[in-house]
Structure 1
Amino acid sequence: MDAKSLTPAKRADYCPPGRFWQALLSVLLLGMWLGMLLFGASPARAEVPSIEAKSFDHYTLALTWHPGFCASRSRPPRECRDPGLRRGTEEGFVLHGLWPSLPQRLRERGVERRRWWRQGCFIERPRPDGGFCRHPSLELSDELARELDGVMPGRASCLGRYQYAKHAACLDVTAEDLFDTSVALVEAVNASAFTDFLVIHRGGEVRRNALIEAFEAAFGKGTGRALRLECAGRGNRLLTEVRIGIAARSLESFPAADSLVRLDRGDCATRVRIAAFD
């Protein structure tokens, strides 16, 4: 049926099929989100392997909203230009990294937290000149390499190599363990109503506080303190990334509320744009 064939009176009530299913999906997801809020149900969770904490307090799980990241780049990398690498990335978050906090042994040497975040393991192992691909290749099983490709399109630009070299190579954590855990954490977040909220609103704008409320609805009252929102563009209104604080000894219970720890507040404006690919 074509809306143009309807009388003016009936045309006003006409809902195109695509809009009908979009509206129905929004209602179903909203109902699931409210159900979690009212009854305290936890989101579906992938089993998260434990990485033994090496004298640090917490991890920061950095998850990229890929359309927003790509829109923020004046010179987009390959993972933004290649349609095959972009496919499916606006259905959830993709992995930026899993970052241990300042290790005790470096704290005892007088290293400040800000310097650790800026330099990481390069404090002890100088960073090689050149791009990310100058770092050593990752030693991963074939199965994990395939899984990581699915949640980390930045692997096309050697992002995984850089993340391991900066954040874990000096902590006696293997690349296999770090990324096995990282994949499970991404899957757990993407299975949540928080990610559903972003998917529903992609291509539009939401209140910053609505994002925090959606996070708390998915993971528990008060957990919004563990969420840091990162934005770019004019007025810091374009969402590029979320960061989640996780207690170092509570990875296996993520995303339970008691596994989350407070992070510093992000830099997003009061209204945030959730980008979508054209």
Structure 2
Amino acid sequence: MKHAIPRALLLAAALLCGGAQAAKNKSVGEPGEFDYYALALSWSPSYCATNGGRDPNQCGSGRRLGFVLHGLWPQYENGYPQNCSRDPLPDHLRRKYEGIYPSPKLIGHEWKKHGTCSGLGPEQYLALSARLKDGVVVPPAFRAPDQPVRVTTAQFKDAFRAANPRLAENAIVPFCGGAGRFLREIRVCYRKDGASRSCGQAEIRLSQKSCGQESFLLQSVR
């Protein structure tokens, strides 16, 4: 004869399972426990159009920056971890690597929020960030346009695929601002070993929602 499991126990088990999933979705994680990396490259003119007065390092006169490193982000297939440890960023590494970001204030924030979740030491994480950033070939039309460039999502992704033939299908996804009118950044996805892979389906859906208009604009550099 089978014994019925009390409803209270079933409810407790469901709450535990649900809590574990909620924790993952709320970005709670352990160092090294993630599914893939997203390399976030911001389109600097878009950032400077709204935040330029706050950051002269990135948006000062004559900087003329295009795609810049926002960060290298450990991702779950749905969601992401953050602030996984309190490991400090040594000053000598801060000085050595701060130049890979458009503003020196970014390096500490990116290490604390994202780098601590990579499972790598600070120098390994920053060296990987620099290597992956430098490995992305930006199509000539998108490097430093003096005039705004309008493209469809398909045209944009095709141009990056042509310039980077080793990218996996859906390895690069755009994100837009201004209700889908302006390119804000791209994310290029990699396995933990640094090889190209498709971005997670959740990230692809967010990209499609973000850049939901027929086309978007890359604002000109300044």
Aligned-CA RMSD value? 3.1
Task: Using the TM superposition, give the Cα deviation of residue 232 of structure 1 relative to its aligned residue in structure 2, in angstroms.
Answer: 0.8
Q: Distance in 2 between matches of 1:121 and 1:230?
A: 23
Is the contact made by 1:57 and 1:101 (CA closer than 8 Å) also made in structure 2? yes
Is the contact made by 2:52 and 2:60 (CA closer than 8 Å) also made in structure 1? no
Of the candidates 23, 37, 61, which is equivalent to residue 59 of structure 1? 37
Of the candidates 63, 82, 89, which is equivalent to residue 138 of structure 1? 89
Q: What residue is the counterpart of 1:94 in the other structure?
A: 68
Q: What residue is the counterpart of 2:22 in the other structure?
A: none
State the TM-score, normalized to the length of structure 1. Answer: 0.56
Task: Using the TM superposition, give the Cα deviation of residue 186 of structure 1 relative to its aligned residue in structure 2, in angstroms.
Answer: 1.2
Is the contact made by 1:63 and 1:97 (CA closer than 8 Å) also made in structure 2? yes
Task: Render the CA deviation track for 1:203-259: whole Å, top value 9, x for unaligned.
Answer: 2212221101112212338835121211112x311112100110112x1xx4xxxx2
Q: Distance in 2 between matches of 1:175 and 1:147?
A: 10
Partner SS state of residue 151, structure 2: strand
Task: Render the CA deviation track for 1:153-209: whole Å, top value 9, x for unaligned.
Answer: 132xx21111111112255422211111111111111xx2x4323127552212221
Q: What residue is the counterpart of 1:22 in the other structure?
A: none
Q: Is the counterpart of residue 203 in structure 1 residue 148 in structure 2?
A: yes
Q: What residue is the counterpart of 1:154 in the other structure?
A: 103
> Which piece of structure 1 moves more, 67-76 or 179-188?
67-76
Is the contact made by 2:74 and 2:117 (CA closer than 8 Å) also made in structure 1? no
Partner SS state of residue 223, structure 1: coil
Q: Is the counterpart of residue 231 in structure 1 residue 176 in structure 2?
A: yes
Q: What residue is the counterpart of 2:126 in the other structure?
A: 179
Q: Distance in 1 between matches of 2:144 and 2:103?
A: 24
Residues 200 and 207 of structure 1: is their aligned pair in 2 closer, same or farther, counting only changes over 3 Å?
farther
Paired AA for residue 111 in structure 2: Y
Q: What residue is the counterpart of 1:167 in the other structure?
A: 114
The structure where strand makes up a greater share of residues is 2
Is the contact made by 1:140 and 1:175 (CA closer than 8 Å) also made in structure 2? no
Partner SS state of residue 47, structure 2: helix
Percent identity for Structure 1 against Structure 2: 24
List structure 1 runs of 4+ shifted beyond 6 angstroms: none
How many positions carry a matched residue from both structures?
A: 184
Is the contact made by 2:65 and 2:221 (CA closer than 8 Å) also made in structure 1? no
Of the candidates 150, 153, 164, which is equivalent to residue 219 of structure 1? 164
Q: Is the counterpart of residue 78 in structure 1 residue 56 in structure 2?
A: yes
> Which piece of structure 1 moves more, 55-64 or 217-226?
217-226
Partner SS state of residue 220, structure 2: coil
Q: Is the counterpart of residue 262 in structure 1 residue 204 in structure 2?
A: no
Partner SS state of residue 73, structure 1: helix
Partner SS state of residue 123, structure 2: helix
Partner SS state of residue 186, structure 2: strand
Paired AA for residue 54 in structure 1: G
Task: Render the CA deviation track for 1:48-102: whole Å, top value 9, x for unaligned.
Answer: xxxxx9343211100111112211438643334423xx62523xx2110101124
Residues 68 and 224 of structure 1: is their aligned pair in 2 closer, same or farther, counting only changes over 3 Å?
farther
Partner SS state of residue 165, structure 1: helix
Paired AA for residue 77 in structure 1: D
Q: Distance in 2 between matches of 1:209 and 1:271?
A: 9
Specify every segment of 5 or more residues in structure 2 that has no aligned partner in the other structure, as ranges. 1-30
Q: Distance in 1 between matches of 2:133 and 2:118?
A: 22
The structure where helix makes up a greater share of residues is 1
Partner SS state of residue 89, structure 1: coil
Partner SS state of residue 71, structure 1: helix
Is the contact made by 2:65 and 2:144 (CA closer than 8 Å) also made in structure 1? no
